[in-house]
Amino acid sequence: MMVRSTSNGRLGFIKTVVGAPRTSFGGFVNESMHFPVVAVVLPLCGILFFFLVGILLWRRYRLESIRKKKRSNSSSSYSGDLEFSISGLPLRFEYEELMIATENFKTKIGTGGFGTVYKGTLPDKTHVAVKRITNLGLRGKKDFCTEIAVIGNIHHVNLVKLKGYCAQRRQWLLVYEYMNRGSLDKTLFGSGPVLEWQERVDIALGAARGLAYLHSGCEHKIVHCDVKPENILLHDHFQAKISDFGLSKLLNREESSLFTTMRGTRGYLSPEWLTSSTISDKTDVYSFGMVLLEIVSGRKNCVVRAQTHSLDESSSSDRESSPPSAAQGLIYFPLYALEMHEQGRYLELVDQDCRAE
């Protein structure tokens, strides 16, 4: 209570409140306002604290996962059987990733000399072809990563791109780009639409460019050793790409008979495979020539059929005017092509569906 005198002799009384905080505007702050502020700030601080702790834990887990992966990559690909480190390898996939991508290797799209190929879909919806490698000895396994390091660094528009690999749990897999039109043999000899002449020309040119790059465009010459329609894959607009290149180095010269048998290349093998001659790029050129005959004629070079008649029963005139018939058990088209070449009858070699073009 304050007492104040005025000019007219009267006394004035002013009532004051002790300890009331003032605001910047001269007013007083109501103490009841503190409660809602505290009720809001404290939970926010708690949420922020747990959020920061969560980030720290996640970063710690992430770093630990990266360390484990690095240790796994630098350790043995044979689960302790053999240790080696190779630079330049393409993307490494976990075996579980490829099992999920292929739905436990559900959809088979082809079978080759080194294994079976399955269709897969990666998490980003990209389609891939997963080749599950078999028929490799211990020496081949040691060379496996060395060879795919080379293959993974070869890039050409007419060569199938190697996207990655898996070397885990004694499983050896290659992950290639997916070619939606499949292999040339299915298109050429299948029940689908007949290839037009210009499409055949484009396929032949594309395959030739890819093969030429392997022979002369790479830092080290690569001899394919198994050029055939099954290893020429087709993409959109019948763009041809050669597959399975580089894998032949996993087998040495002494294993060439096994190579010939297991890859089933009857009709495409050059004479060098059956002799002691050195395998060179000319081997691929010979095989590619056999493929060109099939592209032009629309028929397989070598077909084995049931023998219904003896060779003596077939007339010489029939043999002169047509390729070896089913009566002979074996149809080998290149012999007929040579005969037509000597007679200058090249149109006889062209697929009847394309002669009008």
Query: If pLDDT is split at 50, 70 and 90, which confidence band does 125 have?
Result: very high
Q: Supply the DSSP string of 139-181, one letter for each residue.
A: HHHHHHHHHHHHHTT---TTBPPEEEEEEETTEEEEEEE--TT
Chain segment 330-347, per-residue pLDDT in tens: 778 888 899 999 999 999
More confident residue, 225 or 34: 225
Q: Read off the CATH number of the domain in which 98 is found.
A: 1.10.510.10
Instruction: Report the percent of the chain where pLDDT is more than 90.
Output: 34
With respect to residue 191, please indicate whether it lies within any of the assigned structural domains.
yes
Residue 72 lies in a domain: no
The two tokens of residue 305 are 């059929």
Please tell me the distance from the alpha carbon of residue 53 to that of residue 66, in angstroms, as a whole number. 20
Residue 125 lies in domain: 91-300
Separation between Cα atoms, residue 304 and residue 176, nearest integer Å: 32
- Dihedral, CA atoms, 148, 154, 158, 159, nearest 10 degrees? 0
CA-closest candidate to residue 202, choices 294, 297, 295, 334: 295
Question: Does 235 or 319 have the greater pLDDT score?
Answer: 235
pLDDT at 11 over 80: no
- pLDDT of res. 332: 83
Alpha helices in 173-269 (DSSP H): 184-189, 197-212, 256-263
How far is residue 284 from each of residues 184, 215, 225, 269, 281, measured CA to CA in Å?
17, 9, 6, 9, 5
Distance CA 20, CA 70 (A): 66
243-254 tens-digit pLDDT: 988 877 655 444
Radius of gyration (C-alpha) of the chain in whole angstroms? 38
Residue 261 falls within a domain, yes or no? yes
Q: How confident is the model at residue 273 (pLDDT cuts 50, 70, 90)?
A: confident
Residue 19 belongs to some domain of the structure: no
**Domain assignment present for 69:** no
What is the rounded average pLDDT for all residues in the chain?
Answer: 76
Task: Please report whether residue 285 resides in a domain.
Answer: yes
Higher-pLDDT residue of 306, 192? 192
Picking from 12-21, 227-236, 267-276, which range would have the lowest pLDDT averaged per residue?
12-21
- pLDDT at residue 314 in the model: 38
pTM score, whole prediction? 0.68
Catalytic positions are 226
| Average pLDDT value for residue range 108-124 | 88
131 labeled binding residue:
yes
Q: Among the ranges 42-56, 75-89, 94-108, which has the highest mean pLDDT value?
A: 94-108
CB atoms under 10 Å from CB of 291, counted, come to: 25
User: Is residue 44 assigned to a domain?
Assistant: no
Number of domains in the chain: 1
